[in-house]
Structure 1
Amino acid sequence: MNNSAAASSTTRDFGVRDFYLGRQPILDGDNALYAYELLFRNSNEGGAQFNTGLSATAAVIAHAGQLGLDRAIGDAQAFLNVDADVLMSDIFLFLPREKVVLELVESFDATDLLLERMAQLKEHGFRFALNGVSAVTANVERLLPLIDFVKFDMRQVMQVSTAKVVARFRSENKKLMAEKVETRAEYERVRAFGFDYFQGYYFAKPAVISGRKLTPSQLAVMELMKLVTSDADNLEIERAVKRDVTLALNLLRLVNTPAIGLRHKIDSVSQALMVLGRRQLERWLQILLYADPQQRSHSASPLLMLATTRGKLLELLAKRLRPAQRNVADIAFTVGIMSLMDALFGLPMDEILEQIPVIDEVKDALVYRSGFFGELLKLAESIEQMDGDDLVVPTLKELAISSDELVEFEVTAFSWSDSVARYAV
C-alpha cells in the first residue's frame, strides 16, 4: 500500500468525526501571539484520550482540509505532533508549509531514512520542533541540525541537569520554548532563563495588583457601557462616544469588520446605534476593552483572542441548545467575553461586577461557574486546557452535542475571533 492509500485508510479507521480540537497559544517574549499548538482528542465512548500517530494526524488533516487550516490558526503558526509514520506519508500536501512546525518527541528514532525525509520536508519549507528533551543523547545529536525549536516542560526547566541542556541548545541558536507555563511567576522565571517562547495560560490568570487603575480608554469604554445598558437615550450615548475621538474611531472600525456581516458600511455612531441596537453595541464595547490602544503590540493580544473565541463559542452552543430563546445567545456571549476580565483588569471578578451590572445568571456563571451558562463556560475552559480531568466528553453527551458539531463550532469561533482581532488592533 502506498503512503497516500495508507493515509486515506487510517483516516477512515480513525473517523474525522470522532475527535475535538484544542488550540493552545504560544506567546513570544512580548506576550504577543506567535503560534498555536493544535491538539486533538478522541471523543469516543469510554473517555477522551490524546491521539498521536498517523491515524490521528491523517484524520485531523483531512478535517482541516475540509474546514481550512487558516480558519483554525489565522495568521499564527501551527505546531502539529507527528511520528515516524506521519513523516513518511504524503499528507503534508494538505498543509501550508510556511505556517506549520512539525513537533517530534525526544524518543523519535533518528534513522537514516527518517533524517533524509526530514531534510526533504525542510527543503520544502517545513520546520521541526523537538519536545521532551532531558539530555543531549546521540539520537538528539543526529536530529539537532534539522531542528529549529526545542520545547521543555516548565517543570523541567529549573532543574540543574536541564540547565546544561538548555545552554547547549542556546549555543546552537535553537529557539527555546517552555510549555505548561501556568502562572505569571513561572513565566518570569523561564523568561529570565533565556527562553524565547512560552506555552500555557499564565496570561489568562488574574494578577491582582493593589492600587491598579484602568487606563483612560478603558474607563471611557466602561462609562459608555453603563450608558448603553441603562435607560440613557441614544442621543446621550452618541454624545458620549463623540467626546472621545479615539473611542469613536475604534468603535466604527470594529463594527465594520466582516465578522458582523453587514452589507453596507457604518459611517457614524448614530448609524451604528440604529443598525446594531444596544445589545450588539454592548458586545463590541466589551471587545474594545481587550483592545486597549495603549497596550497594543505588533500582534493581537492573546487575551483578546481567547475572550472573543470563548464568547463566540458559548454563543453558538447556546443558540444550538436553546434556539427558541432569543436572548440566550447574547447572554452566553457576554459570559464568554467577560470571563477573562479579571485577568484583563487585574481585579477579582466580584469587584468587576460591582462596576458592570449584570443579571444574576451571568454573575453566577462568572463567579461560581454555576447554572446553564456556567456549565457552558466550564466546557469551553476544559476544551482550552486539554489537560487533567476531562469534562468535555461527558458534557457533550449530557448536552446531546456531537463532537462533529463541536469542531464546527470551534473552528467558526476561531475564524470569527481572528477576523475581529484584525480590526481591533
Structure 2
Amino acid sequence: MHSSRPSRSGVTLARLLIQPDPVTARFARQAVVDGSVEPLGAELRFRWSGGPPRLLPPPSPYATSVLLSQALLDGGLMQRQPGCLFVEMDGTTLLSPIADVLCGQLGAIQLPRDLPVTEPITRRIAQLHARGYRFALAGVVSPEDPRVPWLPMAAFVKLDTALAPVCAWAPVQDLARQVGATLIADCLGEAADYLRLKAQGVSCFQGDLLMLPQEESPPMLPSCDVDVLGRVFQLARLGAPHDAIAMAATADPALVIRLLMLHRLQVPGGRPPATLADTVASLPERVLIGWLHVLRTSTFDMMPNCQSWSQAVREQIYNYRARLIGARVCSSPAELEAKVFNLYRRLCSREPQGATPAMPTLPGKA
C-alpha cells in the first residue's frame, strides 16, 4: 500500500492521486480595434483542447457550443474583456437554440461568406433581429454579395481586405453607410492597406497586422452531470416553473456554478439573486434553453475529481439545512431556502475544486 505521508514538497501521494492537474480549456480571440483605449470587441475562434494538432475544425454546432462555454463560462471572458464578441455560426447552428445564447448585449452573430441565402435562414435572422440580436456580415468582397438582402439587419460589415479588390473597398463602405452598419476592415495584413483605408474614413480594423490572435487556456470548471443536465433541459423545454427547474438543478453543483455565471452575464452589476429559482427566472426562457443546449453539446462524463467535489458540496448543503432546521433560526421556509442558497452560492464560487469553504457557524444554540 502506498504511504500518504507528506513528501518534501508538502504534497501527499494521496492528494496527487485524488487531485490531478486541472484540465484547461482552449480558445483564441482576435481584437477588433477602433482607435480607442479599449478595443471595440474581439472575434472568438475555436481551438482543439489537446492531442495532436488538427487543422480542420469540428462541425459548427459542436465547435460553437464548446467555444461559447469555454470562453464565457470557463474563461469568464466578459468580466475580463468587455466589448462585442463576434462568433461565427453556420446555417445549422443559426437555426438551432445555440444562436439564442448570443444576446445583443454579449456580441454579434457572424454570418460567414458561404452561408446560403435561404428562406429559413433569412426568417431566423429576421426573428432574432426583431428581438435585439446583432449580426456581422463577414467576408464581404464586393457590393454584389448575395447576402445583400440581410444588410438592413446587420450591425457590422466586415470587408475582407485580403480578397476584395481595392476598387471594391469604397463601394462596400458606401453600402455599409447606407444601412447604418459599422464597417470593419478585416484580414488586414499590409501597412499600405491600413493607411489607404484610414484615408477613406474607415476607423475599425481587424487583422494580423494590428494584433495576432491571442491564445487562451483558462482552467475548466467542474464538468456537469449529464443526467441532471438532461432533466433540467427537458423541464425548461416543457415550460416548467422556475422553482421546479431550480430544484432539479440543485442536484448538480457544477450546473449551479454556470447558472450563477449566466445571471451575471444577463444582469451585469445587478444584485445577487436570493434563491436559485430567482437565478433561473432572471434568464429569458429562450436564452436559458439555448445555454442548456450548449452545455449538453459540450459536456462529457464527469471526471472522478469532479464527482468527489460535487458530492462534498451536496453533503455540506444537506448538513447545513439540517442544522438550520434543528436550530430553528429561520422564521419561514423562504428564509430557510435563502440561507441555504447563500451557502450554495459561496460553495459554488470559482474556487479550486479542492478548496471547499468551511461550514458557516450558526447563531445561538447551533
**TM-score, normalized by length of structure 1?**
0.40
**TM-score, normalized by length of structure 2?**
0.46
Higher helix share: 1
Which structure: larger Rg? 2
